[in-house]
Amino acid sequence: MRTSTLEPPKDDLLEALLGGDSFRPAEPQTIEQTGLSPVVIESLILKFLMQVGSASGREIAGRLCLPFRLLEELLLGLRGRQLLVHKGQSQLSDYLYALTDVGSDRARVAAAACSYVGPAPVPLEDYIVSVEAQTIRAEAVRRREVEEAFSDVSVDGATMDLLGPAINSGAGLFLYGYPGNGKTTIAKRITRCFGQYLWIPQAIVEDGQFIKLYDAAFHEVVRSSESNILKSAGHDARWIKIRRPTVVVGGELTMDCLEIRHDAAANVSEASLQMKSNGGCLLIDDFGRQRVEPAALLNRWIVPLENRHDYLTLPTGKKIQVPFDQLIIFSTNLEPTDLADEAFLRRIPYKIEIVDPSIEEFRKLFQSACLSMGCPYQPQAVDYLVQTHYRPHGRPLRRCHARDLLAAASNYSVFNDVPMQLTPQLLDRVVKSYFTALNS
The per-residue pLDDT for 19 is 37
Claim to verify: residue 401 and residue 308 sit in the same structural domain: no
Domain stop point among 90, 120, 150 = 120
Claim to verify: residue 198 and residue 133 sit in the same structural domain: yes
The per-residue pLDDT for 6 is 54
- Please tell me the pTM assigned to this model: 0.83
The per-residue pLDDT for 180 is 86
The per-residue pLDDT for 316 is 92
Q: What is the DSSP string of 139-202?
A: ----HHHHHHHTTTS---HHHHHHHHHHHHHTS-EEEESSTTSSHHHHHHHHGGGS-SEEEEES
Claim to verify: residue 316 and residue 190 sit in the same structural domain: yes
- Residue 358 is given by DSSP the state P
Q: CATH code at 75?
A: 1.10.10.10
**Full residue range of the structural domain in which residue 288 is found:** 125-353
Claim to verify: residue 140 and residue 245 sit in the same structural domain: yes
Claim to verify: residue 148 and residue 214 sit in the same structural domain: yes
Within a domain: residue 228?
yes
The list of the chain residues with pLDDT below 50 reads 1, 3-4, 8-20, 226-232, 438-440
The per-residue pLDDT for 15 is 38
Claim to verify: residue 216 and residue 304 sit in the same structural domain: yes
The per-residue pLDDT for 85 is 94
The per-residue pLDDT for 21 is 53
Within a domain: residue 284?
yes
Domain stop point among 98, 120, 142 = 120
Strand 209-212 versus strand 203-206 pairing type: antiparallel
pLDDT digits (tens, 9 = 90+) for 22-42: 789 999 999 999 999 999 999
The per-residue pLDDT for 153 is 80
For residues 331 and 286, what is the distance between their CA atoms, to the nearest angstrom? 6
Q: H/E element holding 31? A: helix 31-34
The per-residue pLDDT for 3 is 42
The per-residue pLDDT for 271 is 97
The per-residue pLDDT for 145 is 82
pLDDT digits (tens, 9 = 90+) for 99-148: 999 999 999 999 999 999 999 999 999 999 999 999 887 767 788 888 88
Average predicted confidence (pLDDT) for the chain: 86
Domain count, the chain: 3
Claim to verify: residue 159 and residue 68 sit in the same structural domain: no
